[in-house]
Copies of this chain bind each other. A is one copy, B any other.
Amino acid sequence: MIQKVLIANRGEIALRVIRTCKRMGIETVAIYSQADKDSLHVAAADSAICVGEATNTDSYLNLANVLMAAEISGADAVHPGYGYFSERTLFAEALAGMGIKFIGPSVKAIEAMGDKAAAKAAAIAASCPVVPGSDGIVANEADAIRIAEEIGYPVLLKAVAGGGGKGIRRVDSSADLGRLWKLAQNEAQASFGNADMLVEKCVIAPRHVEVQVIGDEHGNLIHLFERECSIQNLRHQKIVEEAPYAGMSEALRKRMGEAAVRVASAVGYSNAGTVEFLVDSSENFYFLEMNTRLQVEHPVTEAITGLDLVELQIRVARGEKLPLTQEQVQFEGHAIEARITAQDPDQQFAPSTGLISRWNAPGGPGVRMDTHVYAGFKIMPFYDPMIAKLIVYGRDRAEAVQRLTVALDEFHVEGIKTNIPFLRRLVRDADYQAGDISTAFVPQFLGEA
């Protein structure tokens, strides 16, 4: 049984997990840094434990303090949220050693998907299409050049240990490869402590489409349809996500859903996870990676399926069988999430900090707000700039886009700069409104704007 959950995270996702725990009658323990003492996730939890000073490494990424917080709180389970320790096997293993349930997949599954080369091999073994490229780690620059010429430029150099759009370099010709190879290796070593690289064909202007899966610990595994996440910033971070991918054929939806389930099953996956794909304009899809945790953009899936993903995570973590079969999962309507960040769109999206003096959030039918901030809260420079998620739901994509537009127009923040003005322009773009988007959308849009 799970009766007391410590949420090893901060901000909106910690609050999101707490909400479902409370609804389920489960006691909650928040952790917080000294800088986050006024965050709503602290106020909402039944109790809260300070785990360190402001910086992430001192607090949310201080392994000993977070583990000891779990121990002294008497929690019987830990929800990791996303980021932080959510995909660190060391954390999950340590909890297991302490007799505390990690609400997520097995260590084996995290390991299998945390290594890009191993993940790709697993996808191939599961008959899931992958982007043409190196069969695993590329030994040296000469091999990289040979492979790039085989599959054709442009190619991507990808750090094996990267993820979430980080650790990727595009190479357009053999002339650039030597220089960029060294740069990419150095960056990978510095960022991830691992210089191993892959070479992959660069799919031009693909869509980023991901499939949500969830499995129980009895071998049942289903998918909850796809999310379209092509609207990404110049650092490959998602900004606006939607579900479903409205332009998708039913045949493709079925093929991708089944492929995602095959890949996850191949590594004995349980709990919630996301299989990410690139989809080209001819409906070819390629396995990209698997995120072995709850995703930032999970609310759009919740909106169209009526399911509570955190509830499902907790239920399967406490040993229950999945409460529904693949056939019982249905979706209806259309949902879009916009990530609200404390960034100044007029200053190359530089982080903005300071006291929020006004916070007039949108509301009304079809509008969901997930945020840990409020008027009177001070945004600190220590953390990710995402301060809220605005999720809208409509009967179809057009209605969802309209609701998003109205909601963004209403959203009024003072004291800090936010990306809201940028989002307002984005949702008025004709291509965006027509759903004619790809991962090339934002760079083009910014070039035009």
Contacts and interface: CB of A to CB of B under 8 A. Distances in A.
Interface of A: 15-16, 19-20, 22-25, 40, 43-44, 299, 302, 306, 308, 333, 357-361, 363-365, 367-371, 374-376, 395, 399, 402-403, 405-406, 409-410, 412
Contact of A15 (B19, B22, B333, B364): B364
B364 A22 contact: no
A368 B375 contact: no
Given A368-B364, A375-B374, A395 B23 contact: no
A40 B406 contact: no
Contacts of A403: 23
Contacts of A368: 363-365, 367-368
Nearest to A310: B365
A284 B368 CA distance: 39
Given A395-B306, A406-B22, A365 B40 contact: no
Given A360-B374, A376-B375, A410 B302 contact: no
B365 A412 contact: no
A101 B359 CA distance: 36
Given A308-B365, A365-B308, A369-B369, A360 B302 contact: no
B374 A22 contact: no
A358 B370 contact: no
Nearest to A302: B365
Given A40-B410, A402-B23, A375 B359 contact: yes
A176 B15 CA distance: 56
A187 B363 CA distance: 39
A16 B374 contact: no
A79 B225 CA distance: 40
